[in-house]
Chains A and B, each alone.
Chain A
């Protein structure tokens, strides 16, 4: 198992290097640099001094080696556009926000999805089943910014129970987390339902029922455990999707998380900040997948890591 983890971490380093290179090439070849995005044109000499300050006056190769060298030393540099911040400071301020939002969304997606899936499977063919599956299909089909707009209209203006966004306080987090979670909850509900239906026909379930165990115990202890595996497999991509999906949600709800920072950094051509955030996202997604894989073996003793 330790060998497996080490191997995956080695692959992660390689992935990060590839992402770094692709990101570097794309950013340096995009039209316009960080000092073109200002409101008015800079004096050519001012621009020269600024470019020299961030080594943008060097050749692309020199810039590449310089920036890669900084990363290897663990120095993420200054944000080019927001002079007052280091990239590491932006990340330090932004990541608790994104993590809190992501965790809440994941919890919601799991709890709502599992409950709905179990109910739909148990009352298969009834109205509960039809309703949950209908809602789930709609939930998967709608992009999260549409869900967000509808949610704001409903729960901020028509029935004012939530604030329209911002950061600070649990109440401000619920609405965005719900919007972020919705498509994943829907997908998990469908996965759970399918898994449950398959398991409920197995012999050991019939045995459990025949032994006279209460229905709730059979469903939650015996059936659910078997039905959970596809859900756990999905958790990796779901966590990654929730992290990256938060780009849009954070903007709509004005949440100062990594997503907002990445979008703005890309628009303003803040090379250093953009690079730092892209690599952070890569690391997070990679680690999440690793954790899910590890969880998988913990939950199912039949699976061995290779």
Chain B
């Protein structure tokens, strides 16, 4: 009977179910449009300043949080943020910031120097695993804290095991780092004893006492026993608890890190070495303050809309995964009168074509990228809203110098001379990129670059022949006449593929080398770099601030991002000299000498310096071209008359 009824009214039933579904689902996404909408290359990984990395993250976090310094929208030079002024010691090693009285959190509480100290400790704590903690290692003892480089006599902090924390403490994010204040033991390191690998026989203590500890990378933590004097009593600690009390983390006492709140309004940093660009770091989001009370209340959920408390010109209103992040004006912001936008949206649009569609139909006012294939046409239209500007990025090819063939310097030089880089920017990239003959981006002012050889197919061929003779003599290749077999890998992308095909053609034509191309996804490419499992690979680097060091530091022998296998003591020495120099001119001179070595040795082959390819509606005011294509939301406003006119004109067309 029931079946019969269902059968009879089945079409109606189906229709009802579908309608109900639609009515339920569709309104979930309704939001009135924001004052200003941007599409910045996809959704963000996180909006926690300590854990974020990447450019889209920087745009969102930059609107929510404010560091001691903010960015001038035209030059990106540091201007007062939470700090109203600062003092710099003549040796460029002590920076003292004076915080403004009216700096407030979005809940109205004052922002204090202690907030900054606590936030930066959170970044530095190894359990936080912040990708940018290394940016803070210029501060005295910061690296020793994160990397657990402990010495006898150091004041230390021992954090209890996570499982011993209360559920509330375990919910903190990350737990040990935050609970440490109340729960940690503090004392003085008496001895660091190395245990035998088998773990039973302890080597003579006196032998180890005198020497500084080995970095954890050399000695596994399980083979070290720490003796710490706590309240006058020596106690032994061992990571797993086999040879002493177990601990979660045994770190340098964070009070040793030279970030000190001298008063609620006065904050002092002491640096290991002079550093002229320290103010630039103060605008960088890992240095932004987060509110301790908010993190302690919400734990890992503190970044959710409704929970997050921030101190920037805007606060978080809505967040939808891969759809949009909406921020609204923070009425408690100290400079609220300067903030003209009431709301702004960051769209999670991934595809560049879709972003362009959004832009052209007025659904986005600013987009970070246009599809590469559209740039020539957009440029030909001479649009006022598409003005590529130099960007602090170099595109280059890595060469694995541990490869038997590429270990030959002449071969690397020949490969470099055989590529016409001018042709790459004129025929392939075509948006105003400049051919590169060095590593340091030309947007960095006051630095004279050291150049490598320019396109020269004849000289390239000579070097190639010499290289083959040397490789034959060394027994690497079977015959000095045989064409070398090279492999070039790149991350699959329209532009990188075209450049790779061009390089393949040039190396075959000018040198007679046989080149195999291999397109990979980004993660696989990076994994290959880590394992030095490549011959030649495409790569790129975006400078963090306008300092030659952000480029040259890459290829220090111990540089995390070196990944070419190239090591050079003279180069390292020059970098160290530059690092210690308080004189800017002298500093740049050392860097130039270092770059000269790199451009002679060529573990990398520079290709071209990139440009930004963003589009910005002309009715949006306060957007200026700059080397990071970064446009602080604080100073942006919309010319409503112009907007209405522009949109009406487009509709009429």
Of A97, A99, A157, most buried by chain B (CB within 10 Å of CB) is: A97
Flag whether B526 is at the interface (Cβ < 8 A). Answer: yes
In the A-B complex, the 6 residue pairs with the closest CB atoms: A32-B523, A168-B29, A100-B25, A164-B357, A256-B323, A32-B527
A-contact bits for B44-79, CB 8 A (1 contact / 0 none): 111110010110000000000000000000000000
Q: How far is the CA of A17 from the CA of B10 in the complex (A)?
A: 34
A-contact bits for B131-145, CB 8 A (1 contact / 0 none): 101100000000000
Flag whether B354 is at the interface (Cβ < 8 A). Answer: yes
Residues of B close to A83: CB separation below 8 A = 45-46, 48, 51
In the assembled complex, how far is the CB of residue B60 from the closest CB belonging to chain A, in whole angstroms?
11
Let me know if B358 and A298 touch, CB within 8 A: no
Question: In the complex, how many residue pairs between chain A and chain B have their CB atoms under 8 Å apart?
Answer: 183
By beta carbon, the residue of chain A nearest B323 is: A256
Flag whether B529 is at the interface (Cβ < 8 A). Answer: yes
Residues of A close to B520: CB separation below 8 A = 31
Let me know if A164 and B361 touch, CB within 8 A: yes
Q: A97-B28, A256-B322 are in contact. List 16 more A-B contacts (CB 8 A).
A: A31-B524, A32-B527, A38-B53, A45-B147, A49-B127, A82-B44, A96-B24, A99-B25, A100-B21, A152-B357, A164-B357, A164-B358, A165-B349, A166-B358, A168-B30, A254-B351
Tell me the A136-170 residues at the B interface (CB within 8 Å). Answer: 152, 156-157, 160, 163-170
Residues of A close to B46: CB separation below 8 A = 82-84
Q: How far is the CA of A81 from the CA of B526 in the complex (A)?
A: 16
Residues of A close to B54: CB separation below 8 A = 38-39
Q: How far is the CA of A269 from the CA of B521 in the complex (A)?
A: 11
By beta carbon, the residue of chain B nearest A260 is: B322
In the assembled complex, how far is the CB of residue A246 from the closest CB belonging to chain B, in whole angstroms?
14
A-contact bits for B224-257, CB 8 A (1 contact / 0 none): 0000000000000000000000000000000000
Residues of B close to A264: CB separation below 8 A = 42-43, 322, 350
Flag whether B277 is at the interface (Cβ < 8 A). Answer: no
Flag whether B476 is at the interface (Cβ < 8 A). Answer: no
Q: Among A42, A166, A261, which residue has its beta carbon within 8 angstroms of that of B363?
A: A166
Residues of A close to B321: CB separation below 8 A = 82, 85, 89-90, 93-94, 256, 261
Residues of B close to A301: CB separation below 8 A = 3, 7
Tell me the B601-652 residues at the A interface (CB within 8 Å). Answer: 651
14 contacts between A and B (CB under 8 A): A32-B523, A40-B131, A42-B131, A43-B133, A44-B217, A44-B560, A45-B217, A49-B126, A82-B321, A89-B321, A97-B28, A103-B21, A157-B361, A165-B354
Residues of A close to B146: CB separation below 8 A = 45
Residues of A close to B561: CB separation below 8 A = 40-41
Residues of B close to A44: CB separation below 8 A = 217, 560
B-contact bits for A34-64, CB 8 A (1 contact / 0 none): 0011111111111001100100000000000
Take A82-B46, A164-B358, A256-B323 as given contacts and tell me if A41 and B129 are in contact as well, using a CB distance cutoff of 8 Å.
no
Q: How far is the CA of A53 from the CA of B127 in the complex (A)?
A: 9
Residues of B close to A191: CB separation below 8 A = none
Flag whether A299 is at the interface (Cβ < 8 A). Answer: yes
Let me know if A82 and B45 touch, CB within 8 A: yes
Flag whether B430 is at the interface (Cβ < 8 A). Answer: no
Residues of A close to B525: CB separation below 8 A = 32
Residues of A close to B129: CB separation below 8 A = 46, 49-50, 53
Flag whether A268 is at the interface (Cβ < 8 A). Answer: yes
Of A50, A94, A253, A260, most buried by chain B (CB within 10 Å of CB) is: A260
Q: How far is the CA of A253 from the CA of B51 in the complex (A)?
A: 30
**How many residues on chain A are close to B (CB under 8 Å)?**
63
Flag whether A251 is at the interface (Cβ < 8 A). Answer: yes
Flag whether B18 is at the interface (Cβ < 8 A). Answer: yes
Q: How far is the CA of A136 from the CA of B133 in the complex (A)?
A: 59
Let me know if A173 and B26 touch, CB within 8 A: yes
Flag whether A241 is at the interface (Cβ < 8 A). Answer: no
Flag whether B304 is at the interface (Cβ < 8 A). Answer: yes
Let me know if B350 and A260 touch, CB within 8 A: yes
Tell me the B358-379 residues at the A interface (CB within 8 Å). Answer: 358, 360-361, 363
Flag whether A107 is at the interface (Cβ < 8 A). Answer: yes
Take A83-B45, A100-B21 as given contacts and tell me if A39 and B53 are in contact as well, using a CB distance cutoff of 8 Å.
yes
In the assembled complex, how far is the CB of residue B159 from the closest CB belonging to chain A, in whole angstroms?
14
Residues of B close to A168: CB separation below 8 A = 29-31
In the assembled complex, how far is the CB of residue A301 from the closest CB belonging to chain B, in whole angstroms?
8
In the assembled complex, how far is the CB of residue B163 from the closest CB belonging to chain A, in whole angstroms?
15
Let me know if B320 and A256 touch, CB within 8 A: yes
Report which B residues bind A (CB closer than 8 A): 3, 6-7, 10, 15, 18, 21-22, 24-26, 28-31, 42-48, 51, 53-54, 126-127, 129-131, 133-134, 146-147, 216-217, 303-304, 320-323, 347-351, 353-355, 357-358, 360-361, 363, 520-530, 542, 560-561, 563, 651
In the assembled complex, how far is the CB of residue A104 from the closest CB belonging to chain B, in whole angstroms?
6
Q: How far is the CA of A84 from the CA of B53 in the complex (A)?
A: 14
Let me know if B347 and A100 touch, CB within 8 A: no
B-contact bits for A1-42, CB 8 A (1 contact / 0 none): 000000000000000000000000000001111001111111
Q: Among B322, B523, B563, which residue has its beta carbon within 8 angstroms of that of A33?
A: B523
By beta carbon, the residue of chain B nearest A111 is: B15
By beta carbon, the residue of chain B nearest A224 is: B11
Flag whether A252 is at the interface (Cβ < 8 A). Answer: yes
Flag whether A200 is at the interface (Cβ < 8 A). Answer: no
Q: How far is the CA of A238 from the CA of B361 in the complex (A)?
A: 33
By beta carbon, the residue of chain B nearest A39 is: B54
Flag whether A135 is at the interface (Cβ < 8 A). Answer: no
In the assembled complex, how far is the CB of residue A106 from the closest CB belonging to chain B, in whole angstroms?
7
In the assembled complex, how far is the CB of residue A116 from the closest CB belonging to chain B, in whole angstroms?
17
Q: How far is the CA of A102 from the CA of B447 in the complex (A)?
A: 57
Let me know if A254 and B349 touch, CB within 8 A: yes
Residues of A close to B651: CB separation below 8 A = 160
Q: How far is the CA of A104 from the CA of B21 in the complex (A)?
A: 9
Q: How far is the CA of A166 from the CA of B48 in the complex (A)?
A: 25
In the assembled complex, how far is the CB of residue A182 from the closest CB belonging to chain B, in whole angstroms?
18
Flag whether A305 is at the interface (Cβ < 8 A). Answer: no
Let me know if A299 and B24 touch, CB within 8 A: no
Take A168-B30, A254-B354 as given contacts and tell me if A298 and B530 are in contact as well, using a CB distance cutoff of 8 Å.
no
Residues of A close to B560: CB separation below 8 A = 40-44
In the assembled complex, how far is the CB of residue A179 from the closest CB belonging to chain B, in whole angstroms?
13
In the assembled complex, how far is the CB of residue B525 from the closest CB belonging to chain A, in whole angstroms?
8
Residues of B close to A269: CB separation below 8 A = 523
Take A31-B523, A53-B129 as given contacts and tell me if A164 and B363 are in contact as well, using a CB distance cutoff of 8 Å.
yes
Residues of A close to B354: CB separation below 8 A = 164-165, 251-254
Residues of B close to A163: CB separation below 8 A = 361, 363
In the assembled complex, how far is the CB of residue B633 from the closest CB belonging to chain A, in whole angstroms?
20
Q: How far is the CA of A38 from the CA of B323 in the complex (A)?
A: 21
Residues of A close to B530: CB separation below 8 A = 36, 41
Q: Among B26, B53, B523, B529, which residue has its beta carbon within 8 angstroms of that of A169?
A: B26
By beta carbon, the residue of chain B nearest A34 is: B523
Let me know if B357 and A167 touch, CB within 8 A: no
Q: How far is the CA of A142 from the CA of B25 in the complex (A)?
A: 29
Q: How far is the CA of A40 from the CA of B361 in the complex (A)?
A: 35
Let me know if B349 and A93 touch, CB within 8 A: no
Take A106-B18, A256-B323 as given contacts and tell me if A165 and B357 are in contact as well, using a CB distance cutoff of 8 Å.
yes
Take A100-B25, A156-B361, A256-B321 as given contacts and tell me if A43 and B134 are in contact as well, using a CB distance cutoff of 8 Å.
yes
Q: How far is the CA of A99 from the CA of B528 in the complex (A)?
A: 39
Let me know if B26 and A160 touch, CB within 8 A: no
Let me know if A160 and B29 touch, CB within 8 A: no
Q: How far is the CA of A256 from the CA of B31 in the complex (A)?
A: 15
Take A32-B526, A299-B10 as given contacts and tell me if A100 and B361 are in contact as well, using a CB distance cutoff of 8 Å.
no
Residues of A close to B563: CB separation below 8 A = 41
Q: Among A37, A42, A96, A107, which residue has its beta carbon within 8 angstroms of that of B25?
A: A96
Residues of B close to A284: CB separation below 8 A = none
B-contact bits for A171-201, CB 8 A (1 contact / 0 none): 0010000000000000000000000000000
Q: How far is the CA of A94 from the CA of B348 in the complex (A)?
A: 13
Q: How far is the CA of A90 from the CA of B46 in the complex (A)?
A: 14
Take A45-B126, A103-B18, A256-B320 as given contacts and tell me if A298 and B527 are in contact as well, using a CB distance cutoff of 8 Å.
no
Tell me the A255-306 residues at the B interface (CB within 8 Å). Answer: 256, 260-261, 264, 267-269, 295, 298-299, 301
